[in-house]
Amino acid sequence: MIDTHSHILAGIDDGAETMEETKQLLDKALEEGLTGIIATPHAHHPNFPTDVQKTKEQLAITKAYIDEQNLPIEVYSGNECRLSDKLPDRLATGEALTLADSRYVLLELPSSGVPAYTVPIIQQLIAANYTPIIAHAERNQGIIEKPERLERLLLHGALAQVTSGSLVGSFGKAIQRTAFSLLDANLIHCYGSDVHNMSKRPFAFKEGLAVLEKKKQDEMIEILLGNNEAIVNDTHMIILEPQKVTKDKWWKLF
């Protein structure tokens, strides 16, 4: 299994602070059954300085440790790229990284809503042969209030990711309900942990899948995990036909 969203590289952003913490997260990843993790430190986020060179150096250190310990896991390069009109140019010049050197770009919107310029940026990315994936779409306040906003972004060529913590309720009931509403409407395409550390923001990767399994979403699990593999293989994802969002259907389940 591949985790498509993580902050495991030490000293880059608000994720792992030390290499020792990175090592602990790698051990936990193996317990979670993961065979691959895409490292996605924030890029051009207003609260975190961006240093692609430092990211690459820390990725190399992490890979060297994995090789030295002969761990059965691979860590891939990537970024969680903040929405910006400069993003297409930053990707082209290597100032921001795609997921596992693929066509896929993890795109972070402001948590407060969906800015009006989101669609033009998505269109620019698509025109440059990138495929943007909206990170933790279920945690965006604008999408929580009106899930149809996400559908509009998908109509312009974007895809969307859900995070494990949202499925298990780590961010509250509203976000949990939104996550399942978006899944039920086929508006989610891949799955990630958004792990930051061992305590407040753990993997919960298997736990999230267990919630889906409990709700008899075996087919969705297969699609999400298959699409995660498609990212690292740089192949096309399975994309189901969007359905009407029904906010109340999953409320009874929690």
pLDDT tens readout for residues 205-214: 999 999 999 9
Distances (CA, A) of 234 to 17, 55, 76, 171, 253: 30, 21, 12, 31, 36
Angle among Cα 80, 82, 85 to the nearest 5 degrees reads 135
User: If you average pLDDT over residues 24-39, what whole number do you get?
Assistant: 97
Asked if 73 contacts 30 with a C-beta cutoff of 8 angstroms, the reply is yes
The pLDDT assigned to 231 comes to: 98
Neighbours of 251 (CB within 10 A): 13
Please give the tally of structural domains in the chain. Answer: 1
pLDDT score of 70 more than 70:
yes
- Whether the CB-CB separation of 212 and 39 falls below 8 Å is answered with no
Res. 253: pLDDT tops 60: no
Helix (H, G, I), strand (E, B), or coil: what is residue 231?
helix
Average pLDDT over residues 89-117: 96
Q: What is the CATH number of the domain that holds 123?
A: 3.20.20.140
Q: At residue 108, what are phi and psi to the nearest 5 degrees?
A: -100, 120
Q: How many CA atoms lie within 13 A of 100 on its CB side?
A: 20
Run of H or E including 56: helix 52-69
Kindly tell me the burial class for residue 117, based on how many C-beta atoms sit within 10 Å of its own C-beta (0-12, 13-18, 19 or more). exposed
pLDDT digits (tens, 9 = 90+) for 122-161: 999 999 999 999 999 999 999 999 999 999 999 999 999 9
Q: Which conformational region is residue 97 in: left (phi greater than 0), alpha (psi within -120 to 50 degrees), or beta?
A: beta
Averaged pLDDT for residues 207-228: 96
Q: Which two tokens stand for residue 123?
A: 């269109």
Q: What is the pLDDT confidence band of residue 247, given thresholds at 50, 70 and 90?
A: low
38 beta partners: 76
Domain that holds residue 201: 2-253
Give helix then strand counts, H and E, for the chain: 10, 9
